Structure 1
Amino acid sequence: MDLRLLRYFVSVAEELHFTRAAERLHISQPALSKQVRLLESQLRMKLLRRSSRHVELTDAGRALLPQARRLLDQWSQSLAATRAAAAEENRTLRVGFVANACGELTPRIFQEFARRRPDWKVTMSQAAWGDPTCGLRDRHVDVAFLRVPVPADECFHQRVLLSEPRWVVLPAGHRLAAHAVVPFAALLDEPFVATPVESGVWRDFWLAVEERAGHPVRIGAEVRSSDEWMEAIANGFGVCFTAESTARFYTRPGVVYRPVDRISPTRVALAWHRDDRRRIVADFVAVCTAVAEG
């Protein structure tokens, strides 16, 4: 049995909607339908009843769903434990990050960690924007530099390392690009370049949903990486809030960065799993804390 087929079935069973499930899985809706039919063919039973407007589970589908969830969870835990054991054996700390990680503190952190633990090496993994936990949720990494808030943060310890203002990124020819400081109210009706729907509270934060006092958000484009984000803004699909440091790390023709008034700041936190009590993780947390405080 291909576990990927079970994962596809679970997504459709939870959404009861093929298009939403396909968006969640980052595949096309026809490809998802084909894979679910393949699973039904292998099992020789119908799992879903489909119509043009409605999807529902059959009795067989309802019986399979909790078992499939349990199997996928067990496999995920087994794979995470195996990866962690391999990393421990190779003395490798896996670090996830998004965009510019911890800004200018990043090289200082790794230099200090190398000084304190020269017997360990570090690998860095940049996450797609669909996963604001940067691989930590699925235990693909040991620790991660996150832009909080993130989904499922109750699973993680977090240590805030820095805070900085949120700015706005605009196409260079935008009418607000001439402002030294852009009024937040002037952005409310602008189309925004957004992270994927599955990024949840992270997406809401970068759309400044809480600051809008109920004013609806217009979405001009959805993107999954820094490169896509820059292209969308430069081509006029929308504007976007970002961290002040992004103006230093991501410069390119066609976009400009401006401060915004009356908007809360963004914070970078180091995060790790609550049940991870390994000495090497504690040492990395101590290094990050010392560099940030220093």
Structure 2
Amino acid sequence: MDLDLALVRAFLTTAGTLHFGRAAEELNTSQQALSKRIARLESLLAVRLFERAGGVRLSEAGERFLPAAREALAAGERAVAAVSGTGSVVRIDTWGHLYAPMRTVAQAARALGPVRLEPGPGRDWPSVAQALLRGDTDLGLGRVHPLPDGCDAGLTQRLVRLEPVDALVGPSHPLAGADALRPADLRDSVLWCPAELTRLDFLRRFADHFALPRRQDGPNLGLDHLVQHLRDDAGCFTLFPADAPLPDHAGLRAIPLVEPTPLYAWSLAWRESARHPQLDALLRGFTETGRSRRWLDYAPRRDWLPDTDHAKLAGRTYDP
């Protein structure tokens, strides 16, 4: 049978709202016309996709159909964009929000030409990986690290930026007056981790590699909360990208780390089997920006990267 993508779109919109009236409004059609489309699709598939008793919900068959329907509609949209030259929107989810990932996207966007970006927030890398595999987004930007049980199988990644990180301390910290610090100088301080440490792969690997035994984690309640915590606790420090902005009223010290300088690896990730037609143009934009701003500078004797990031260096798009 031929699958009508208009019917698939009607199903996905209804599945997203679980309300025929709201779904009809989104599709700019009548509720009666929407109901007929859903009924037609159910007839073609010979299954019931929604249970309508006591409210609208997906049936078991509807739950099974949902991810494949998303892929089918996304593939159809990519096919149209590939031949129409319309420059379809690229959905990009970012994570690591305290480190302001949109700085990197915004700088690269100037070189992207006709590519239109639709940014969205991701909770963390595992959640963005799942969104990429489901087809809920086209691209991810953040720090990519290995996921357990092969949960990232089928995803491709490219390193786009290596950013030095500073030690961020409050004004009363014993080391606040230093011009520079070695990671080993921080062993008597407490590494503050603004989320569960198991979710913060970079901070965990930094603390393990440089034998920093004193660690404390807590909820990620935003940048202002992080700033206040460092102000209130003179024994705490955290790591923060050297180019990331802090609030004007922060009153904190960002001290460069040397011998070695830790680097935070920003990568793009996508599903190769669902490659967006604008992806090549987008990658060229990141490459041009990275070359001009020396985003991929790395010297082994000067810098430190977690072991899991070393393999990405082979795929750098230029040699600085």
The AA in structure 1 aligned to 2:263 is P
Q: Give the equivalent residue in structure 1 for 2:117.
A: 122
Whole-angstrom CA distance in 1 between matches of 2:119 and 2:70: 17
Whole-angstrom CA distance in 2 between matches of 1:198 and 1:80: 34
1:218 Cα deviation after fit: 1.8
1:195 Cα deviation after fit: 4.1
Whole-angstrom CA distance in 1 between matches of 2:220 and 2:250: 19
Q: Is the 8 A contact 1:87 1:93 kept in 2?
A: no
Q: Give the equivalent residue in structure 1 for 2:189.
A: 190
Whole-angstrom CA distance in 1 between matches of 2:188 and 2:77: 48
Match of 2:216, SS state, is strand
Q: Give the equivalent residue in structure 1 for 2:257.
A: 260
Alignment of 1:182-221 (within 5 A): 182-197=181-196, 200=199, 203-207=200-204, 208-213=206-211, 215-221=212-218
Q: Is the 8 A contact 1:155 1:273 kept in 2?
A: yes
1:160 Cα deviation after fit: 1.4
The AA in structure 1 aligned to 2:164 is P
Distance of aligned partners of 1:175 and 1:154 in 2 relative to their CA distance in 1, 3 Å threshold: farther
TM-score with structure 1 setting the length: 0.59
Q: Give the equivalent residue in structure 1 for 2:279.
A: 281
Distance of aligned partners of 1:286 and 1:80 in 2 relative to their CA distance in 1, 3 Å threshold: farther
RMSD: 3.6
Q: Give the equivalent residue in structure 2 for 1:46.
A: none
User: What do the CA deviations read for 1:56-86 (whole angstroms, capped 9, x no partner)?
Assistant: xxxxxxxxxxxx9xx98x5773575378469
The count of aligned residue pairs is 215
Q: Give the share of equivalent positions with the same residue, in percent.
A: 15
Q: Is the 8 A contact 1:211 1:263 kept in 2?
A: no
- Which protein is bigger by CA-based radius of gyration? 2
The AA in structure 2 aligned to 1:127 is G
Distance of aligned partners of 1:176 and 1:283 in 2 relative to their CA distance in 1, 3 Å threshold: same
User: What do the CA deviations read for 1:118-141 (whole angstroms, capped 9, x no partner)?
Assistant: xx532112334xx13573432343
Whole-angstrom CA distance in 2 between matches of 1:250 and 1:84: 39
Q: Is the 8 A contact 1:193 1:240 kept in 2?
A: yes
The AA in structure 2 aligned to 1:255 is L
Match of 2:172, SS state, is coil
Whole-angstrom CA distance in 2 between matches of 1:191 and 1:173: 14
Q: Give the equivalent residue in structure 2 for 1:144.
A: 140
Distance of aligned partners of 1:78 and 1:148 in 2 relative to their CA distance in 1, 3 Å threshold: same
Whole-angstrom CA distance in 1 between matches of 2:227 and 2:73: 33
Q: Give the equivalent residue in structure 2 for 1:23.
A: none
Whole-angstrom CA distance in 2 between matches of 1:231 and 1:218: 18
Q: Give the equivalent residue in structure 1 for 2:29.
A: none
State yes or no: 1:179 paired with 2:172.
Answer: no
Q: Give the equivalent residue in structure 2 for 1:292.
A: 290
Q: Give the equivalent residue in structure 1 for 2:230.
A: 233
User: What do the CA deviations read for 1:194-249 (whole angstroms, capped 9, x no partner)?
Assistant: 1433864xx13224134234x53421534254344333323328321121112x45
Distance of aligned partners of 1:94 and 1:163 in 2 relative to their CA distance in 1, 3 Å threshold: same
Unaligned runs of 5+ in 2: 1-59, 81-85, 293-320
The AA in structure 1 aligned to 2:242 is E
Q: Give the equivalent residue in structure 2 for 1:160.
A: 159
Q: Is the 8 A contact 1:181 1:259 kept in 2?
A: yes
User: What do the CA deviations read for 1:239-266 (whole angstroms, capped 9, x no partner)?
Assistant: 21121112x4555423221112334311
Match of 2:125, SS state, is coil
Whole-angstrom CA distance in 1 between matches of 2:191 and 2:207: 12
Distance of aligned partners of 1:260 and 1:144 in 2 relative to their CA distance in 1, 3 Å threshold: same
State yes or no: 1:106 paired with 2:102.
Answer: no
TM-score with structure 2 setting the length: 0.55
Q: Is the 8 A contact 2:145 2:201 kept in 1?
A: no
Whole-angstrom CA distance in 2 between matches of 1:252 and 1:149: 33
Q: Give the equivalent residue in structure 2 for 1:30.
A: none
Q: Give the equivalent residue in structure 1 for 2:240.
A: 242
State yes or no: 1:135 paired with 2:131.
Answer: no
Runs ≥4 residues deviating over 6 A: none
Match of 1:254, SS state, is coil
Unaligned runs of 5+ in 1: 1-67
